[in-house]
Structure 1
Amino acid sequence: MTTAHSTQLLVCMGSGGVGKTTTAAALALRATQEGRKVCVVTIDPAKRLADALGVRGELSNEPSLVSNFGDGQLWAMMLDARQTFVDLIA
């Protein structure tokens, strides 16, 4: 990871079942522990990310605060591509 003041976008992608969600959740937790503000975004309608982060209920198209770790914050959301597109052009 880099300094606390930098902005980064990290994309985890690959074939199904290779650990993308687990990797994304682990990286997000680590960055949060380092004092960073992190938002993990999934496009998978399955509840795997919520389960991996211990979120009760479902994630939505808006970021939800999952946890605070010292100065860090962990947010998570499930991107609804269709709704985001509609919001963008409206």
Structure 2
Amino acid sequence: MPNTNRRIDPLPEEFRSEREAAQFWDTHSITDYEESLEPGELDVDIQRRHFEIEIDQECFLALREIARKERKPVKQLASEILKQKLRAG
């Protein structure tokens, strides 16, 4: 049961900056302001999909070390290696 004795700060009409909004929401719960929420529309156009695969620790550590030497993200290096291997058949 919600605590009805708790004081809820008024929701500002607008925030002067993103930082001000972030500070407000860092210390307030959106559930306290549900009556102020309005439905919105969101168009999503997903161009790329990402997948996760499991690898053992030894492989990950080796990938991380090579990626560090080549100054690129581990996921980029892993994708490059897989693509090369798959092309080679």
- Normalization by structure 1: what TM-score? 0.23
Q: Which has the higher strand share?
A: 1
Q: Which structure has the higher relative contact order (CA within 8 Å, separation 6+)?
A: 1
Give 1 or 2: higher helix fraction: 2
TM-score scaled by length of structure 2? 0.23
